[in-house]
Structure 1
Amino acid sequence: MEPGGQLNIQHLLEQAQRMQAQLMSAQQELAEAEVTGTSGGGLVTATVNGQGEVTKLVIDPKAIDVDDPAETAETVADLVLAAIRDAERAAAELQRQKMGPLAEGLAGGLPGLPGLPGM
């Protein structure tokens, strides 16, 4: 509250607009970012964007045993899943890094309005 009991609505609106701009910027950075995950000592590499969407998958030919196609298929499937999970973990960490400070700011509420959660 401002002296005299008046809220500075203009200040609150400016603060909300800054927070919205920061959020949009962080979301754009996440959409453009890429992280990778690997499995099998690098036999499989999965690339995901900062939002966790798989954008690329590379399987090293060394992962394939032509003498045992059934076993190879099962092994490659397991390695692909493990690489994707590793990449998703990295994407989640990136999301925490980019969005965490914004979430902390919102959790503190807006100055001048104790007890009122952020926007």
Structure 2
Amino acid sequence: QENLGNLEVEGRSGGGLVTVTLTGKGALKGLKIDPSLFKEDDVEVLEDLIVAAHADAKAKVESEMQAKMSEMTAGLPLPPGMKFPF
């Protein structure tokens, strides 16, 4: 679990126009927005891109956590369908 706290994952949307950085525990650590998105008529697009980038980063964190848990539990007999974390 200590390693997960040090993990940082980036999620991107809009072809990299918005980048979100999350920690392994899912905390938002950073947000980068391309200056081209700072137009009054693009507010809704920007909001959608931030949400999409966050979702991308969150999915990557969950994938990394699952991979690390699989490494740690390799060889442990678990009932079918049971996954870590519970």
TM bin, normalised by shorter chain, reads: 0.7 to 0.9
Structure 1 residues 106 and 52: alpha-carbon distance in aligned structure 2, compared to 1, 3 A threshold: farther
CA drift of 1:100 comes to 2.0
TM-score, normalization by structure 1: 0.60
The aligned counterpart of 2:54 is 84
The aligned counterpart of 1:97 is 67
Task: Give the whole-Å Cα distance in 1 for the aligned partners of 2:5 and 2:77.
Answer: 22
TM-score, normalization by structure 2: 0.81
**Percent identity between the two aligned chains:** 36
User: Higher relative CO (CA 8 A, sep ≥ 6), structure 1 or 2?
Assistant: 2
Amino acid paired to 1:48? L
* Residues 2-25 of structure 1, C-alpha deviations (whole Å, 9 max, x = no match): xxxxxxxxxxxxxxxxxxxxxxxx
Structure 2 counterpart of 1:58, from 32, 36, 41: 32
Amino acid paired to 2:65? Q
Task: Give the whole-Å Cα distance in 1 for the aligned partners of 2:35 and 2:22.
Answer: 21
CA contact (8 A) 1:51 1:95 kept: no
The aligned counterpart of 1:107 is 78
Task: Give the whole-Å Cα distance in 1 for the aligned partners of 2:38 and 2:25.
Answer: 30
Task: Give the whole-Å Cα distance in 2 for the aligned partners of 1:57 and 1:106.
Answer: 41
CA-based RMSD of the aligned residues comes to 1.6
* Residues 54-96 of structure 1, C-alpha deviations (whole Å, 9 max, x = no match): 111111111122xxx1x31111100000000000011001000
CA drift of 1:103 comes to 4.4
How many residues matched?
78
The aligned counterpart of 1:37 is 11
